[in-house]
Amino acid sequence: MPLEQLKLNNQLCFPVYAASRLIIREYQPLLDKLGLTYPQYLVLLVLWEDDAQTVNQIAHKLILNTNTITPLLKRMEVQGLITRDRSTNDTRKVVVALTTKGRKMEQEAACIPEQLINGFQNSPLSVEELLNLKKQLHQLIDMLSAHDR
């Protein structure tokens, strides 16, 4: 008989992991229309908010390691969405910036959050409950991120 603390249903991590995967699955048909993966969409969200950031800044905001994000950025550069150039102030840093194509994609992607929420209309959770869940998840992220500082 398994120990109680090792049962899948008793883990905090599993419902968060499963919900994340399922939400990303909901995004994918919307992102497919733009030719994007979910991680590429996240990078674009960061750059649409504040263009021309270093790889480290983007990695920090997305809670990713730079060795994880670098291949992703290279693929986005090949797609013509971003440029990657050495900083003129510090050549050890690579600055990532949107191209014209990457900037134009913002308008195409503007409908994605609303379409995603519309897909949840038949959910047993209200919009208010979903927003409260998002707030609680941000609090959890902040708490766990504080351990890394």
Domains of the chain and CATH, by start: 8-113 (1.10.10.10)
Q: Which two tokens stand for residue 16?
A: 């968060």
Name beta bridge partners: 144. none
Maximum Cα–Cα distance across the chain: 62
Residue 1 confidence (pLDDT) = 64
Residue with tokens 């897909």: 119
pLDDT at 46 over 80: yes
Segment 95-132, tens digit of pLDDT = 999 999 999 999 999 999 999 888 877 888 888 898 89
pLDDT at 147 over 80: no
Q: What is the pTM of this model?
A: 0.91
Q: Element (H or E) spanning 82, and its range?
A: strand 82-86
At 112, which amino acid appears?
A: I
> How many angstroms separate the Cα of 141 from the Cα of each of 8, 19, 104?
21, 15, 31
Segment 125-135, tens digit of pLDDT = 888 898 899 99
